[in-house]
Structure 1
Amino acid sequence: MSILEVRDLRVAFRQEGKRFEAVKGVSFSVDRGETVALVGESGSGKSVTALSTVSLLGSSAEVSGSVTYDGQEMVTANEKLLRKVRGNDISFIFQEPMTSLNPLHTLEKQLGESLALHQGIVGQEARQRILDLLIQVGIRDPETRLSAYPHQLSGGQRQRVMIAMALANKPDILVADEPTTALDVTIQAQILELLADLKRTVGMGLLFITHDLGIVRRIADKVCVMKDGEIVEAGPVAEIFKNPQHPYTKKLLNARSTGTPEPVVADAPVVVETNELRIWFPIQRGLLRRTVGHVKAVNEATLTVRAGETLGIVGESGSGKTTLALALMRLIGSEGDIRFMGEDIRGRNTKSLRALRKDMQIVFQDPFGSLSPRMSCEQIIAEGLGVHGNPDGRPARDLVAEVMAEVGLDPASMDRYPHEFSGGQRQRIAIARAMILRPKLVVLDEPTSALDMTVQVQIVDLLRKLQKKYGLAYLFISHDLHVVRAMSHKIMVMKQGDVVEAGQAADVFANPQTDYTRELLAAAD
C-alpha cells in the first residue's frame, strides 16, 4: 500500500476576479522507501502539488481531489491532525532557506524547537542530537555553529540546516522542493547519499521536486514530468530517460549548456587584478571584545581578468567564493592589492568609489530576494541611472525598453512587479539592471542555480552574447560545473579560503592537478 496517494488533485487560485487553475487532475503515489521525482519548468505546478499534500496553500486556494497519507485524507483534514502530521510524519525542505529560517533565532534554538515539539527531546540530549544532525548534513565544526544566526551562514550552509531540520524527526515522507539548488556538487552528492541511506534504513518515502535531471537519474525510482499543471509523462526513471515519449520530456532531457565562450582578444586590457588578497574576519570575545582569533575566509588569492574574459570560481559553500568577489568590489574590507582598470582602489574612500560603481556590477543568486517587491520592473532597471546619471541623455524609459529587449524581455511588461514574472524572467531583470550602466566588470554569483535547465541554457547564451557585444569581464561563481565549462575561459578552485588550483578552463577540466578538483569533477558527472 502506498504511504502517500494523490488522486485527481486540482488546485485553483483567484486573482483580481479571475480564476487560475495551477494543478489540473494530477495523480501519483509514493511507496515506503521509494523516491518519486516531480520535474518541469517554473510554473508547471510542482510546488503547488507538494504543498497540497498537507494543506499548506492557505485559504485562497481552491483544492479538490484526494491526498491520503497512510490512509488518512489530508485535503479535508482538521487542523489538529494537520499539525500532528506536518513536520513530524511529513517533513518539508523548501528551496529558499532564508524564507524558512527565523533570522532572530540561533541554529540550536530552531533545530531544538522541532525536537521539543514533536519528540519531547530537550536539554543535553537535544543538543547532542542537533550536533549529530549537523554532522550528517556536512556542517563543519558544528559546535561553533550552534550559536550562529542564519545570516552568518553561506547559502549552501543554510540549505543544509534546513535539511537537518526536516530530518530531525525521522519522517515517513520527506517532501524536498529543490533541496540541492544552493549546494556545491560534493555536498550535493553527500546529501543525496544521506537521503538514499535514510530510505534504506527507515523506509522513508521521498517526493523530490527538482529541475536537475542528473539528480533525478541518480536518486529517483519514478519520475512524473509536469507541464502547465498536468503530468504529461510518468514512469520508471530508466524507462523515461531511455525512451521519452512526450516532446516536452525530450526537450528537458536535451537541455544542457554546451559550447565554450568566445576567445579573448589578444591585446584585451586587464579589467581587475589582485595580488595575495587576504580577507580575515576577527573573532571577538568578552566584555572588551578582544580579538581571540580570525575566520580566514580568503587566503592570498591572486587573479587577473581581462576585457571579454570570464574567470569561473568554483568550490564548496563557505570556501570564500562570494567573499572574494565582494572584496574585489570593495564591498568588504581586505588586505592585499586590488587594481581596477589599472588603478589601485584599496585606499579609495566611499565617495571616490561611487564613481567606479557603475563600472562594477553584480547579479545575485536569488533574483526574487534582490529585486524590491515595491518597485516596478522599469524602476528597478532604471535605479542605477538615478544614482550614476544618464550619459545618453535619452529618456530613462527608452533606455529601459532597449535593455529589456536586449536581455529577452518584452518592454511592454516594464510596469509589472517582480512577483508577476517567472524565475527566469526575474533573473533577466537583474541582468538588465546591471547592463543598463554598461559596466566593465560583472560579478555573477550563482546566476543560474535557481533556474530550470531550459532557462539556464537561455541565460548562459544571453550572458555570452552580452560579453561578446560589450567586451565584458565576468567573475562567474557557480557550483554547476557544466555551466562553468560553458561560460569560463579560466578556472579558480577554492577550498576553505585557499586557492588550490587555477588555470585555463580546458586544462583544469582535462587534467586536474589536485585531489579536491578531481573530487569536484567526479561529483558533477
Structure 2
Amino acid sequence: MSTEQLLSIKNLNIYLQEHGSDTRNQIIHNVSFDLEKGKVLGIVGGSGSGKTLTSLSVLSLLHDKFSVTGSIHFNGADLLQLPERKIRKIRGKEIALIPQNPMASFNPIISIGEHMVESMRSHQKLTRKIAKELAIYYLEKMNFADPSDLISQYPFQLSGGMLQRVLIAITLSLQPSLIIADEPTTALDKVTEDHILHQLEIMKEEYDTSMLLVSHDFHVVSRLADEVAVIHNGMLVEKGSIVNVFRQPNHSYTKQLIDASIRLKREKP
C-alpha cells in the first residue's frame, strides 16, 4: 500500500469571534497530523474537545464566526487557500462527510432516491436512469431488503440507523478519496452500530478509502483505525498507532478515555 500523504494538517488554529466584540477565543491550538492514502486515523476526544471542529475545517464547513489559520493540504493543494467554488467541487466527490446527525443531512420533502440521484449527477455525468440504477445498487450493498421500494420513501419514514446507511450508500456511489465520519454510531443500537462499522470496514478494505473517524469511544475507533490522535481542550495531546496508544497510553487524558470506553462496553447489554 502506498505511503503517500493524502492529507496533511500543519499548525491548525481555530478562533471563535465573540458576538458583538472584537475579541477572539482560540479553540484549536496548533494541531498537526498526517493521513496516508488508504489509512484510517481516529480522532478521539470528549464532548467539546475540538475534534469535530478540526474535522469540519477540512471541508471549510465552519460557521463564519470561526476563523482558521495554518495549512490543510489535500492531494498537494492547501484547502485553506482555495476559493469556495473549488472547495465545492471537492466536497462529496473527493472528500465526503458522514455526520453524526443523519436527519439534518436530508431534505424532508425529497425522496431518498432523489437525494441519491442528484448527489451522483452533481459530480458525475450520468443520466437519471443510470443514476437511479446505481442508487439501487449501492443501497443493496448496504443490505436494505427492498431498495427499489426504499428510493420512493422520504427521510422521515426511516430510522436514524437507516438514514446513516443511506448516507454511506451515497458516499460509496461517489467513491471519494477521503471520508470524514463524525460520530457515525452515536445513538444507535448495538446491532445497527456493528452494521455501520462493518460497512465502513468494507469501504476501507475494498475501496482503499482513507478516513478521519471522529469519536469519543476508543472501542469504535480501535475497530477501524490504524492510528489515533487524541484531542483535549483543543490540543493534540497524543498520537500513535492504535495498538501502542491503546496498550500504553502516555497522556493521563488518553488513559481516562480508554477507561471510560472499557466501562461503557461492560455496561452495554
> Smaller-chain TM-score range?
over 0.9
**Contact 2:217/2:257 (<8 A) preserved:** no
Q: Which residue of 2 aligns with 1:60?
A: 65
TM-aligned CA deviation for residue 227 of structure 1? 0.5
1:249 aligns with 2:254: yes
Deviations 1:64-115 (A, max 9, x none): 0000110011011112210110110000000001111111100001111111
Distance (whole Å) between structure 2 residues aligned to residue 236 and residue 484 of structure 1: 26
**Residue 201 (structure 2) aligns with:** 196
The residue number in structure 1 matching 2:27 is: 22
2:220 corresponds to: 215
The answer to whether the 8 A contact 2:58-2:79 is kept is yes
Amino acid at match of 1:202: Y
**Residue identity in the other structure for 1:150:** P
Match of 2:116 in 1: 111
Runs of 4 or more, structure 1, over 3 Å off, are 481-485
1:264-283 aligned at under 5 Å gives the runs none
| One of 130, 135, 138 as aligned partner of 2:143 | 138
- Unaligned 5+ segments in structure 1 are 259-452, 454-480, 486-525
Which structure has more helix as a fraction of its residues? Answer: 2
State the number of aligned residues: 264
Gaps of 5+ in 2: none
3-state secondary structure, aligned to 1:135: helix
Q: How does 1:96-107 map to 2 (within 5 A)?
A: 96-107=101-112
- Structure 1 partner of 2:83: 78
In structure 1, the partner of 2:170 is 165
Q: 1:233 to 1:246 in 2, by over 3 A?
A: same
In structure 2, the CA distance between the partners of 1:21 and 1:126, relative to structure 1 (3 Å rule), is same
Alignment check: 8 A CA contact 1:163 1:179 kept: no
The question of whether the paired residues in 2 share the 8 Å contact of 1:112 and 1:127 is answered with yes
Mapped partners of 1:175, 1:138: distance in 2: 22
Amino acid corresponding to residue 11 of structure 2 in structure 1: D
Work out whether residues 159 and 183 of structure 1, in 8 Å CA contact, stay in contact via their aligned partners in 2. no
Corresponding residue for residue 350 of structure 1: none
Question: Which of 168, 177, 190 does residue 185 from structure 1 map onto?
Answer: 190
**CA offsets, 1:395-419, max 9 Å, x none?**
xxxxxxxxxxxxxxxxxxxxxxxxx
- How far residue 204 of structure 1 moved from its aligned partner, in angstroms, is 1.3
Counting only pairs closer than 5 Å after superposition, residues 489-508 of structure 1 correspond to structure 2 as none
Mapping of 1:439-478 within 5 angstroms?
none
Amino acid in the other structure paired with 2:56: L
Q: Among residues 94, 100, 108, which one is paired with 1:95 in the alignment?
A: 100
Equivalent residue for 1:224?
Answer: 229
Partner of 1:2: 5
Q: Which of 37, 49, 55 does residue 50 from structure 1 map onto?
A: 55
Task: Pick one of 11, 14, 26 that aligns with 1:11.
Answer: 14
For CA contacts below 8 A with separation 6 or more, give which structure has more relative contact order.
Answer: 2
Is the Cα–Cα contact under 8 Å of residues 35 and 221 in structure 1 kept in the other structure? yes
Opposite residue 253 of structure 2, the aligned amino acid is Y
State the Cα deviation string for residues 187-209 of structure 1 (Å, max 9, x = none): 33333233223223332111100
Matched, 1:240 2:249: no
Structure 1: how far apart are the matches of 2:144 and 2:219? 24
Give 1 or 2 for the bigger CA radius of gyration: 1
Query: Does structure 2 conserve the Cα–Cα contact (< 8 Å) formed by 1:112 and 1:122?
Result: no
TM-score normalised over the length of structure 2 = 0.93
Identity of aligned residues (%): 36
Q: Structure 1 residue 45: deviation in Å?
A: 0.6
Query: What is the rounded CA distance, in whole Å, between the counterparts of 2:197 and 2:260 in structure 1?
Result: 22
Secondary structure in 2 matching 1:4? strand
Distance 1:484 1:196 in 2: 22
Amino acid of the residue matched to residue 216 of structure 1? V
Give the Å deviation of 1:178: 0.7
Work out whether residues 217 and 261 of structure 2, in 8 Å CA contact, stay in contact via their aligned partners in 1. Answer: no
Q: CA RMSD in A?
A: 1.7
User: Which residue is 1:154 aligned to?
Assistant: 159
- Asked whether the equivalents of residues 159 and 182 of structure 1 are also in contact (C-alpha less than 8 Å), the reply is no
In 2, are the aligned partners of 1:37 and 1:216 still within 8 Å (CA)? yes
Say if 1:4 and 1:67, in contact at 8 Å, map to a contact too: yes
CA contact (8 A) 1:36 1:208 kept: yes
> Which of 123, 131, 145 is equivalent to 2:128?
123
